[in-house]
Amino acid sequence: MSRTQRLVLLGLAVAVIAVAGVLIGTGGSSSTKSSGPVAIEVKNARPVGGVKDVTFKKGGTVDLSVHSDTADEVHFHGYDVHKDVAKGGTVRFRFPASIEGRFVVELEEHKQTLANVTVQP
């Protein structure tokens, strides 16, 4: 194998390792700082694009909607708000961000986390 071929293979190996590190590090989740509405889509009882990490500012408004192809109850823990979502339906959570902390939004019956919501000062 020539020196050029070895360098190309080494470059490809480094790229593969870097991409794997990014994928493992994020755990398939996405992060959003929000001052506006956040939408989560659920397919086959799982959040499309992975579990979302969302941050709202205390004193602002939590505004999060869930569109689901699976009927279930969506539970916004901490604020203790529950809403039933029909198959193919959408529910919206809109309320004052009055409690600081980190809260889970879950598809209750499926025990599937949809979002980790942080309300910060």
DSSP-assigned states of every residue in 23-35: HHHHTT-EEEE-S
Distance between CA atoms of residues 59 and 100, nearest Å: 10
Q: Is the pLDDT of residue 9 over 90?
A: no
Tell me the mean pLDDT in the region 76-102.
97
**Coil, strand or helix at 103:** strand
Task: Classify residue 12 by its DSSP letter.
Answer: H
pTM exceeds cut of 0.85: no
pLDDT band at 36 (very low <50, low <70, confident <90, very high): confident
Q: Would you identify the CATH topology of the domain 30-120?
A: Immunoglobulin-like (2.60.40)
Kindly give the pairing relationship between strand 30-33 and strand 52-57.
Answer: parallel
Question: How far apart (Å, rounded) are the C-alpha atoms in residues 17 and 111?
Answer: 32
Residue range 54-68: mean pLDDT, rounded: 97
Euclidean distance between CA atoms 48 and 38, whole angstroms: 13
Q: How far apart are CA 67 and CA 30, in angstroms?
A: 17
In the numeric block, the tokens 């910060």 are attached to 120
35 or 37: which leads in pLDDT:
37
Which sign does the torsion angle of CA 22, 107, 90, 76 carry?
negative
